[in-house]
Amino acid sequence: MASDGSGQEEIPGEERRAFPSLQSYARQDRVTRAAYLLLEAKEASKEQLEFFETWLKVVFDEAVPVSSEGGAQLRVPTDAESFELSISGPKELMLRLANRFLEACKVPDLRMMQQLTQLEQELEEPDVALWCRIKRMGQKEEAVDAGFHIEHLLEWLVADIVVPKSEDQAALRNNAMSNRLVPHAYAASLLPCEPESSLTFDMETGSMKSSILSGLFIFKALGFAKPEDLGLTAITHVDAMKCHLVAQLGPRGLTRMGLRFLKPSSSLSQELASACNIGVEDVLEEVEAELRVQPYFVEYAAEKRGYTITVGYVL
């Protein structure tokens, strides 16, 4: 199955999933209701809705009962044009669910599933997260994606094998190594159409400000424009517990580069969006009210469509 809406294969027809009870406070129902708020507010297509509901039924609903607290995560940019939902669980179960999902979607090329299996054998990480991404909702170039995420230190020898080769990949590696950074998490799409991978680095270089500046220097070294003065001031004065650098790469090079601020002040997303002149959709207030949690992280990122602010909720 292609990840873009225009190239999707048909997803098997099945009964429409019942909307979760409005009276339920269970984590599963809160997260699901929040996702539906986004799908409805941004007028996701029928194909996107079917893809998401297949993932919910095959993966999310099966994994939630055995997923530990904090194992569910919802990521939403402030313009709400996309979102990503992930759930972690024991690797044996998650590998079975990943296979089952690919079978349900009739994906013919399983090379990324093979990569996941081989990585698990190599890294021996007890838990794996599976994610579903609905992109560019309500737009002509709509897209969907699904993949996996592993929290584990990754030697550069392994990273060089699993991340798509490109000039950007080599430049990222060189800049990260010069800053003594080693990937501590790896993620990738399970779909075969130009699958993207991502590497996450812990920017512990001393103070929060020095960590942020080190990350921004890597942004600049990889060709991203410096933020405007107001945005730069806001970014370099972020109040958070930690800073991570997240790089997403496809076969053609970098597709996204972000600074992730963990356990930030509750107003950080609004402050950064305002300083960087980035819009905030009203539906985010509804999502946060539904989830009943504060953002666990906020990301400032450079993407093809420009700079974005993304809010992450962990339940």
- 103-133 confidence digits (pLDDT tens): 999 999 999 999 999 999 989 899 999 999 9
Mean per-residue pLDDT over the chain, rounded:
91
Q: How many domains does the chain have?
A: 1
Structural domain span for residue 57? 5-314
- Judged on CB neighbours under 10 Å (0-12, 13-18, 19+), 201 is buried
Residue 66 scores a pLDDT above 90: yes
pLDDT at 8: 39
- The whole-number average pLDDT for the span 154-160 is 94
Pick the more confident residue, 225 or 284.
Answer: 284
pLDDT at 259: 97
Question: Alpha helices of the chain — where are they, by DSSP H?
Answer: 27-41, 46-55, 61-63, 91-104, 111-123, 156-162, 167-178, 208-221, 229-236, 268-275, 283-291
pLDDT tens column, 197-210: 999 999 986 789 99
Confidence of residue 13 (pLDDT cuts 50, 70, 90): very low
Confidence of residue 18 (pLDDT cuts 50, 70, 90): low
- The whole-number average pLDDT for the span 19-47 is 88
- The whole-number average pLDDT for the span 178-201 is 95
pLDDT tens column, 162-180: 999 999 999 999 999 999 9
Q: What angle do CA 43, 3, 122 make, to 5 degrees?
A: 130
Residue 20 scores a pLDDT above 80: no
